[in-house]
């Protein structure tokens, strides 16, 4: 599909609406017991996030000619894992934040115990979806691989491990390689999962194409975080929907704090160019992924 900027924007809108509808189907109803827990889960997931990760699942599926119905489950699962990670990240024991997606954080709106449980239950729900969704692949082996990827990349060797490195790094001096390792795990692993889950939804993908997509995903996973660090310095709380300057206030190492703002912008652009290069074996069917890479480094929230 030939893509230009307006079409890209309308596809992003479609994907956001599509995943919101799927999330609504998977989330427990707000009036079913335990009501408070279910309301907290819905509050966190349905809050107005960018839906970057589901968009990436749909975009990869679209580039590979996969029916989007087959990846609704994967798109929902990654957003649900992301929502759980945000709830737990905001807790007093971690970043102790009051604002998320322009609203009070889950533990502020409900209470700490409910927020912990909502995160736990969301993590379980994501794996339920991947193992259960009848619309996904009929191939049991592929489904098992999806469970494996999601668990590996969200666990201690992926996102949760990155969070542990992050917490240990507060107030410390990291070099750029150590900072990258942290972000490759904390942010990059789940972004990589999005592309992998979509790629696993087809058995027609060559090893070479699979690897090219994975390289692309690794590069944009890091560029997303570089831009996040830049925005923490340059944006404002209302635009971000979370507390601006929170990283520097907590004395967290970031790309701008280590290499400066100018070099951070160059780094983001370099990662973007490398991501485009990784897609060079694809034709215009992958243009949507090229636009996503550009979006990641140009976004303002
Ligand atoms: C608690 C296991 C555990 C992990 C937490 C994702 C994470 C790991 C912490 C969130 C804090 C943070 C700033 C992480 C970097 C990743 C990131 C930029 C998250 C925000 O993602 P967006 O911008 O948020 O996609 P929305 O709200 O738009 O979905």
Instruction: Kindly indicate the confidence band of residue 211, based on its pLDDT and cuts at 50, 70 and 90.
Output: very high
Q: Is 105 in the pocket of ligand 1 (CB under 6 A)?
A: no
Tell me the sheet residues that pair with 223: none
**Closest protein CA for atom 26 of ligand 1:** 49
Given ligand 1 and candidates 153, 187, 191, 250, which is best to mutate, with the most ligand atoms within 8 Å of its CB? 187
Tell me the sheet residues that pair with 99: 104
Q: How far is CA 242 from the centre of its chain?
A: 16
**Closest protein CA for atom 10 of ligand 1:** 86
For residue 1, pLDDT over 90 is answered with: no
For the four alpha carbons of 41, 42, 48 and 51, in that order, the dihedral sign comes to: positive
Which atom of ligand 1 is closest in space to residue 88's alpha carbon?
A: 1
Which atom of ligand 1 is closest in space to residue 224's alpha carbon?
A: 18
Query: Domain map of the chain by residue range?
Result: 5-298
Q: Is 109 in the pocket of ligand 1 (CB under 6 A)?
A: no
**Where in 82-149 does DSSP place strands (E)?**
99-100, 103-104
Res 72: pLDDT: 98
CATH superfamily of 5-298: Farnesyl Diphosphate Synthase (1.10.600.10)
Which atom of ligand 1 is closest in space to residue 301's alpha carbon?
A: 23
Res 61: pLDDT: 98
Res 83: pLDDT: 98
How far apart CA 84 and CA 216 sit, in angstroms, is 25
Q: Is 186 in the pocket of ligand 1 (CB under 6 A)?
A: yes
Quick one: tokens of 168?
Answer: 């240990």
- pLDDT, tens digit (0-9, with 9 covering 90-100), for 236-276: 777 767 777 677 767 788 999 899 999 999 999 999 999 99
Instruction: Kindly indicate the confidence band of residue 233, based on its pLDDT and cuts at 50, 70 and 90.
Output: confident
Ligand 1 centroid vs 109 CA: distance in angstroms?
19
3-state SS, residue 103:
strand
**Side-chain half-sphere CA neighbours of 113 within 13 A:** 1
Which of 118-122, 165-169, 283-287 bottoms out in mean pLDDT, i.e. has the lowest?
165-169
For residue 64, pLDDT over 80 is answered with: yes
For residue 11, pLDDT over 90 is answered with: yes
Tell me what the mean pLDDT of segment 168-177 comes to.
88
Q: Is 228 in the pocket of ligand 1 (CB under 6 A)?
A: yes
- DSSP state, residue 92: T
How far apart CA 64 and CA 66 sit, in angstroms, is 6
CB neighbour burial string for 280-293, b if at least 16 within 10 angstroms, e if fewer: eebeeebbbbbbbb
Percent of the chain predicted with pLDDT > 90:
86
Ligand 1 centroid vs 281 CA: distance in angstroms?
31
Res 249: pLDDT: 67
Q: Is 160 in the pocket of ligand 1 (CB under 6 A)?
A: yes
Q: Please state, as a whole number, how many other Cβ atoms lie within 10 Å of the Cβ of residue 165.
A: 17
Res 2: pLDDT: 79
């Amino acid at each position: 599909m030939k893509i230009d900027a307006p079409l890209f924007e309308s596809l992003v809108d479609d994907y956001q609406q599509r995943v919101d509808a799927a999330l609504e189907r998977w989330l427990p109803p707000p009036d079913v017991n335990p009501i408070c827990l279910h309301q907290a889960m819905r509050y966190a997931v349905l809050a107005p996030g960018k839906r970057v990760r589901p968009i990436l699942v749909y975009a990869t599926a679209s580039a590979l000619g996969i029916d989007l119905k087959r990846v609704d489950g994967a798109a929902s699962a990654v957003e649900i894992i992301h929502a759980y990670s945000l709830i737990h990240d905001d807790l007093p024991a971690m970043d102790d934040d009051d604002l998320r997606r322009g609203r009070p954080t889950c533990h502020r709106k409900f209470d700490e115990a409910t927020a912990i449980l909502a995160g736990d239950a969301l993590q379980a729900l994501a794996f339920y979806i991947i193992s259960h969704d009848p619309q996904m692949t009929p191939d049991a082996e592929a489904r098992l691989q999806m469970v494996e990827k999601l668990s590996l990349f969200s666990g201690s060797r992926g996102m949760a491990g990155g969070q542990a490195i992050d917490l240990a790094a507060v107030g410390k001096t990291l070099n750029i390689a150590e900072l990258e390792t942290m972000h490759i795990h904390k942010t990059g692993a789940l972004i990589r999962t999005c592309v992998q889950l979509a790629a696993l939804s087809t058995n027609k993908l060559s090893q070479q194409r699979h690897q090219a997509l994975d390289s692309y995903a690794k590069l944009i996973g890091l560029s997303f975080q570089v831009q996040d660090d830049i925005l923490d310095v340059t944006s404002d709380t209302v635009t971000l929907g979370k507390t601006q300057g929170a990283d520097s206030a907590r004395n967290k190492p970031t790309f701008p704090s280590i290499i400066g703002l100018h070099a951070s912008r160059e780094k983001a652009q370099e990662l973007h160019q490398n991501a485009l290069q990784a897609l060079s074996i694809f034709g215009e069917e992958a243009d949507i992924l090229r636009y996503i890479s550009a979006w990641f480094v140009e976004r303002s929230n």
